[in-house]
């Protein structure tokens, strides 16, 4: 794999979907040397790691090694069973320029997986009696903001959580796509991002269908702040990160680009000549629709706590799993239903509750299999172009699950 360390400038493009892919048309210019970093920059450890004695260690490591040979810069994987036995592995590099190997405990960007954390925090506030899921969001947020959003004054908290609001997804505004790609290191505020949804037609009337929209979760972050009078990420820390011991998990607003974060890479040319994109994800540093920093180990701990009944009342968790199916399924994806903050997908290895996430140069996916009470969480420091089919496609997910469950 070759590496181009470049600044992206004067680009014009389109985000092909609200989930993942980036298509750039334009110029790559001003190639610069990356930072000189010592291996100790990426030092980390996991307490009581038993991966070396795990019975499936050989086939799991072989999977990661194969992905790297195919062109993924680096890949992290956690596989955890009902008893809590966990295999942690890594392959590839944390830093191509400095040729530093990836470690299983390294931190990375995990993008929209934060939406599950956001949703769980809202549901915890519901358990505390501080809101009702069928309250209009207008009970908590100002009319001056919501009146600019088609459906904004008529959607409920539940409809924001399960993407049945119909609210326009700001990421799909072509003006936002151009603006964000022309200023890839810009750090955006929530109000700046919401402005790209103002005046845009809703996809459908609230509650009549489901369609993924990042706009929903910006509003939910604002809701958390309005109720608690704290930054939403401080509430994450109070209710989730600290109680669960998620020592490798933080939100980007505290430190947008930690020195120890693994470098991100994007295959812009669709030929595995990747460019470094570590500093190119600034639009979600301060909003609850993205911006999470973590690793597969911590994400697995969170999933087991959630679906093990340690975070929410049993009745609330069941309410979160009242599934809504979209009127149109993605032709090349898993059959999917929408819950409150996560999705149900049908895989060859059983039902899974899951969420995935993207940032420029990063991808992550976390899955919980209720019948097996097992988690599979993986993350990569590369995406787009020829890398996406290797890590985020249905076929890639099935390949990973086959190595885990065969």
Quick one: tokens of 50? 């038993």
Query: What domain count does the chain have?
Result: 1
CATH code of the domain in which 329 resides: 3.40.710.10
- Which pTM does this prediction carry? 0.93
Whether residue 328 has pLDDT greater than 50: yes
Helices 296-307, 114-127: axis angle to 10 degrees equals 30
Q: pLDDT class for 281, splitting at 50, 70, 90?
A: confident
Rounded mean pLDDT of 332-345? 97
Predicted local distance difference test score (pLDDT) of residue 45: 87
Please name every residue paired with 2 in a beta bridge, in sequence order, or none if there are none. 273
Predicted local distance difference test score (pLDDT) of residue 83: 87
Q: Are strands 250-251 and 108-111 parallel, antiparallel or unpaired?
A: unpaired
Domain range for 392: 2-405
Whether residue 30 has pLDDT greater than 80: no
Whether residue 135 has pLDDT greater than 90: yes
Quick one: tokens of 96? 């191509």
Reduced 3-state DSSP string for 150-193: CCCCCCEHHHHHCCCCCCCCHHHCHHHHHHHHHCCCCCCCHHHH
Predicted local distance difference test score (pLDDT) of residue 84: 85
- State the sign of the Cα–Cα–Cα–Cα dihedral 112, 203, 389, 78: positive
Strands, sheet with 382-383, edge to edge from the N-terminal-most edge strand? 2-4, 273-276, 265-266, 382-383
- 3 state SS of 324: strand
Q: What is the DSSP string of 75-101?
A: EEEEEE-TT--EEEEEEEEEETTTTEE
- Identify the residue with better confidence: 197 or 54: 197
Q: pLDDT class for 3, splitting at 50, 70, 90?
A: low
Q: pLDDT class for 24, splitting at 50, 70, 90?
A: very low
Phi–psi pair at 38, nearest 5 degrees: -85, 155
State pLDDT tens for residues 147-186.
999 999 999 999 999 999 999 999 999 999 999 989 999 9
As a whole number, the mean pLDDT across the chain is: 91
């Amino acid at each position: 794999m070759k590496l181009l360390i470049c600044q992206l400038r004067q680009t014009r493009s389109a985000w092909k979907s609200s989930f993942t892919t980036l298509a750039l048309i334009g110029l790559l210019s001003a190639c610069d040397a990356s930072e000189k970093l010592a291996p100790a920059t990426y030092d980390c450890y996991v307490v009581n790691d038993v991966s070396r004695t795990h019975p499936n260690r050989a086939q799991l490591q072989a999977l990661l090694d194969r992905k790297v040979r195919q062109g993924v810069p680096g890949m992290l994987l956690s596989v955890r069973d009902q008893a809590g036995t966990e295999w942690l592995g890594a392959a590839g590099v944390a830093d191509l320029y400095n040729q530093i190997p990836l470690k299983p405990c390294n931190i990375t960007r995990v993008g929209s997986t934060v939406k599950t954390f956001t949703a769980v925090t809202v549901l915890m506030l519901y358990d505390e009696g501080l809101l009702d899921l069928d309250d209009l969001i207008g009970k908590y947020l100002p009319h001056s903001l919501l009146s600019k959003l088609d459906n904004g004054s008529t959607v409920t908290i539940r409809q924001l959580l399960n993407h049945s609001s119909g609210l326009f997804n700001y990421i799909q505004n072509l003006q936002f796509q151009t603006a964000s790609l022309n200023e890839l290191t810009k750090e955006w505020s929530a109000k700046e991002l919401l402005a790209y949804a103002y005046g845009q037609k809703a996809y459908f009337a609230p509650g009549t269908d489901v369609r993924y929209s990042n706009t929903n979760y910006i509003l939910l972050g604002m809701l958390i702040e309005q109720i608690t009078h704290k930054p939403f990420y401080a509430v994450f820390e109070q209710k989730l990160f600290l109680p669960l011991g998620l020592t490798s998990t933080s939100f980007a607003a505290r430190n947008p680009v930690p020195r120890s974060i693994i470098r991100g890479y994007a295959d812009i040319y669709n030929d595995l000549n990747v460019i470094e994109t570590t500093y190119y994800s600034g639009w979600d540093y301060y909003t609850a629709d993205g911006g999470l920093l973590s690793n597969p180990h911590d994400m697995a701990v969170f999933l087991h706590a959630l679906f093990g009944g340690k975070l929410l009342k049993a009745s609330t968790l069941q309410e979160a799993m009242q599934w809504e199916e979209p009127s149109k399924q993605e032709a090349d994806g898993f059959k999917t239903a929408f819950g409150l903050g996560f999705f149900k997908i049908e895989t060859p290895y059983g039902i899974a509750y899951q969420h995935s996430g993207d940032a420029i140069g990063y991808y992550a996916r976390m899955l919980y299999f209720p019948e097996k009470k097992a988690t599979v969480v993986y993350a990569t420091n590369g995406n787009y172009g020829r890398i996406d089919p290797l890590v985020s496609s249905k076929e890639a997910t099935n390949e990973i699950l086959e190595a885990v469950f065969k």
